[in-house]
Structure 1
């Protein structure tokens, strides 16, 4: 096949060298041919090329595949399972702590916004191995100032009820005649508002650890929020009192909060019945 001068020139521009057989003629020394002028590429006629050229689809396929690979990875990334953020005070932060370490952990806690408005934390008071444990709701103004649960008029009423059963919140003495008192919350809610569910949740590990350390024979839950925290029940106290419940295997009796009794004097008699029920349970457990 003979190539035209134009085709040869175009092939040379793309780096293809051709071999052409010599014509039947006496062997003579070749005279160098004069160079063939090469037209600019824009002016070259699109002649078929003698070499196999990759089709546009074949060239585009690898490029498209290369572009598609990161696109697929971005469209469907591998994600780790969602994990809820652990609160600043969780079960791990209180589990295994002894009394001094637990008190320090409560004092340093900033798991909720109550830490920003408190005067001080209200840890607990009483005998560390008391047979009785009393759980209240949240510190009030006087508790926030003194750092002790159940002070003021409500605390005085509670102390009088305990004395009637020969019980005391003193930290020393016979454990059978002592109580340990703690609240569900260790910080006072502003203006004595009701505790928020998330506040109760974040503070709960501290109360759980206190109960584990005391190992009481009887728990007396005083007030709606103490009952909700320990029994996970939203039933009114009037429907829950008068019978023995269980918290982690420990007998639990429900009664009214002393602050409520100061406003509702007729219910003092019912509260006394609750204490007598708790006393009978504690005596059987001794």
Structure 2
């Protein structure tokens, strides 16, 4: 089975040396770092979609500090149980960023192939350069370049995706594991932004063709130094709302205590 479909005509791509080609002669070269870019210019909403190099470096620094490791390990434990008795398995990490989670899945899980997909070429370039145990590609989560019923499992950590594409590409009885912010996630950061902090709502996603199988909460305190606290704020969607006073507080603090709270859900595709 072909690993990828052509994003222009949806025919299987065949790799010949360092080029993927379909029978319509659409060609996609493998970059020197080892990834392939399957995001045609007509599918982009901007010239360079996704996170830039500064955001990539900030995210890498924070994750390498181990602050989200309890969540990562909980996802791994879930997947290990879900994939234990399958022979040939393909796992896709959607919105994989610089590959922190993707590489760990490849090392820790009983899977044959781990794929990391992101819309940001900067992120994928650095992921492919650093982690050789996964296959990385630049592509849209709204048009997954995979065959029907190809994937055993999909992981989405904060990442959006077209639900109908998941239904198409995941095998019957396959799983989608999602990670979303729990009710009290980053409560102390929000308290520096909003007069009244509302607990985060965690509605169950309606995925066509899937049923919610399990839901787990992973919550724990984080103790951050000034640099990691500032980096964490940079990584969040409310960075642009943060007042100067909060940035200054984080810059000057020796220790910032903040809650991490994640909701992990397993959706199984109905046969």
State the TM-score bracket (shorter-chain normalisation): 0.3 to 0.5
**Larger-Rg structure:** 1
**TM-score, normalising length from structure 1?**
0.31
**TM-score, normalising length from structure 2?**
0.32
Q: Is the helix fraction higher in 1 or 2?
A: 1
